[in-house]
């Protein structure tokens, strides 16, 4: 049987480049990773498609999903709800894919509580000025919304130490390589390879007995 995939949470300030990074990682390693698609009550941005970036749902439908237990976690972020549908995540992990949840910090901590061996990665730009430049440069939000997101970034910065690794997104190519390396390294953790350890111990005992 194929080894079960790892659950990975990627958080980071809005505008730090998470979306860009995820797209690149999935293009390079389409068989290794699966990106969970969240449900949200926020309106689609130009170019976003229902079922691709998000499942865009009404507040009513979102509340029904919560009531039916269809979400692993959910959180409110700057006036809108965001949540992770359970079914896809569980299926992909069973199939051996490493599943990435690109979610904000409250959701990240809730997932960690539910699944303690989740790998938590925090993506940051090299500096605060660069964050604002990227948010403005993306051109998808009004200045008001950008200000709210910059304020939210101040709050999120207080929780950075809760993450296992900081991924600095300066050069995109280098950043993708680093993220892949960190995740691959995580597979080698001894606590994730208990079965292998048991097996080799038994085999060693058996060989010793045959001498």
Q: Which does 15 bind (CB under 5 to 8 A by kind): ligand ADP, ligand 5GP, none?
A: ligand ADP
Q: Which long-range contacts (CB under 8 A, 24 or more apart) does 142-150 make?
A: 145/78, 148/78, 149/13, 149/14, 149/15, 149/78
Asked whether position 17 contacts ligand ADP by CB under 6 A, the answer is yes
Residue from the set 42, 86, 132, 138 that interacts with ligand ADP by CB under 6 A: 138
Asked whether position 152 contacts ligand ADP by CB under 6 A, the answer is no
Nearest residue to 21 (alpha-carbon basis) of 168, 128, 135, 176 = 176
Distance CA 105, CA 156 (A): 7
Of the pair 103, 179, the CB lying nearest ligand 5GP is at: 103
- Strand pairing partners for 12? 123
Question: Phi, psi at residue 163, to the nearest 5°?
Answer: -90, 150
The stretch among 17-25, 33-41, 104-112, 177-185 that binds ligand ADP (CB under 6 A) is 17-25
Q: Which does 5 bind (CB under 5 to 8 A by kind): ligand 5GP, ligand ADP, none?
A: none
Contact in structure between 121 and 10 (CB atoms under 8 Å): yes
In the region spanning residues 61 to 120, those forming contacts with ligand 5GP, defined by CB under 6 A, are 73-75, 77, 82-84, 102-104, 106-107
Q: Which does 82 bind (CB under 5 to 8 A by kind): ligand 5GP, ligand ADP, none?
A: ligand 5GP
Residue from the set 5, 7, 9, 14 that interacts with ligand 5GP by CB under 6 A: 14
Of the pair 16, 118, the CB lying nearest ligand ADP is at: 16
Distance CA 102, CA 71 (A): 14
């Amino acid at each position: 049987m194929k080894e079960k995939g790892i659950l990975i949470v990627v958080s980071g300030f809005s505008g730090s480049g998470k979306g860009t990074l995820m797209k690149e990682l999935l293009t390079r390693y389409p068989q290794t990773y699966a990106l969970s698609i969240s449900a949200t009550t926020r309106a689609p941005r130009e170019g976003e498609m229902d079922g691709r970036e998000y499942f865009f749902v009404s507040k009513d439908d979102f509340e029904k999903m919560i009531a039916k237990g269809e979400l692993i976690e959910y959180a409110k972020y700057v006036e809108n709800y965001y949540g992770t549908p359970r079914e896809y995540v569980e299926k992909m992990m069973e199939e051996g894919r490493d599943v990435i949840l690109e979610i904000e910090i409250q959701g990240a901590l809730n997932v960690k509580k539910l699944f303690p061996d989740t790998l938590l990665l925090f993506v940051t730009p090299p500096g605060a000025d660069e964050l604002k430049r990227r948010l403005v440069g993306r051109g998808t939000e009004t200045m008001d919304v950008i200000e709210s997101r910059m304020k939210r970034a101040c709050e999120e910065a207080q929780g950075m130490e809760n993450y296992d690794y900081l991924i600095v997104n300066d050069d995109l190519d280098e950043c993708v390589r680093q993220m892949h390396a960190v995740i691959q390294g995580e597979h080698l953790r001894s606590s994730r390879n208990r079965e292998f350890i048991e097996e080799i111990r038994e085999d060693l005992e058996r060989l010793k007995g045959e001498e």
